[in-house]
Amino acid sequence: MQFLYNIFISLLISGMKIGTLFNYKLKKGLAGRRQSCKIVHEKFSLKDKVIWMHAASLGEYEQGLPVLEKLKEKFPEHKILITFFSPSGYDHVIKKNTIADAVCYLPFDLKRWIVEFMSHFNADIFITVKYEFWYNLLNELKKRDVKIYVVSALFRETQVFFKAYGSWFVKQLDQNVDWIFHQTKHSSALAKEIGLKKSSTAGDTRYDRVRQLRERDNFVEFIDGFKQSKKTVVFGSSWESEERLAEIIASKNRDVKIIIAPHDLKRVEHLKKLFPNATLYSQITSTSDMVILNPQVLIIDCIGLLSKLYSYADIAVVGGGFHSKGLHNILEAATFGIPVFFGDHYEKNPEADELIAANGGKSFEDEFFAAPYILQILNDEHLLRKMGDHAEKFINSQPNATDHVVQRILADQGIL
List CB contacts of 201: < 8 A, sequence separation 6 or more: 181, 182, 183, 184, 185, 187, 188
2-203+399-412 maps to which CATH number? Answer: 3.40.50.11720
> What's the whole-model pTM score?
0.91
Report pLDDT digits (tens) over 152-195. Answer: 999 999 999 999 999 999 999 999 999 999 999 999 999 999 99
219-396 maps to which CATH number? Answer: 3.40.50.2000
Rounded CA gap, 172 and 331, in Å? 32
Please report how many Cα atoms fall inside a 13 Å half-sphere around the Cα of residue 395, on the Cβ side: 28
Please report how many Cα atoms fall inside a 13 Å half-sphere around the Cα of residue 80, on the Cβ side: 20
Element (H, E) at 271: helix 268-274
**Longest C-alpha distance within the chain, in Å?**
66
Report pLDDT digits (tens) over 13-70. Answer: 999 999 888 888 889 899 999 999 999 999 999 999 999 999 999 999 999 999 999 9
- Point out the residues of the chain with pLDDT beneath 50: none
Beta strand extents in 176-285 (DSSP E only): 179-182, 199-201, 232-238, 257-262, 279-280
Q: What is the pLDDT of residue 289?
A: 79
Query: CATH 3.40.50.11720 residue ranges in the chain?
Result: 2-203+399-412
**Closest-CA residue to 104 (of 16, 43, 15):** 43
The DSSP result for 350-392, as a single string, is HHHHHHHHTTSEEEESSHHHHHHHHHHHHT-HHHHHHHHHHHH
Query: CATH 3.40.50.2000 residue ranges in the chain?
Result: 219-396
Q: What is the pLDDT of residue 274?
A: 97
Helix 205-215 / helix 381-396 crossing angle, nearest 10 deg: 120
- Environment class of residue 142 by beta-carbon count within 10 Å: exposed (0-12), middle (13-18) or buried (19+)? middle
Q: What is the pLDDT of residue 121?
A: 97
Q: For residue 154, what is the DSSP state? A: -
Q: What is the pLDDT of residue 416?
A: 63
Helix 167-176 / helix 135-143 crossing angle, nearest 10 deg: 30
List CB contacts of 304: < 8 A, sequence separation 6 or more: 92, 95, 96
- The CB density around residue 157, as the number of other CB atoms within 10 Å, is 10
Region label for 145, one of left (φ > 0), alpha (ψ between -120 and 50) or beta (otherwise) = left
**Closest-CA residue to 130 (of 68, 56, 67, 201):** 56
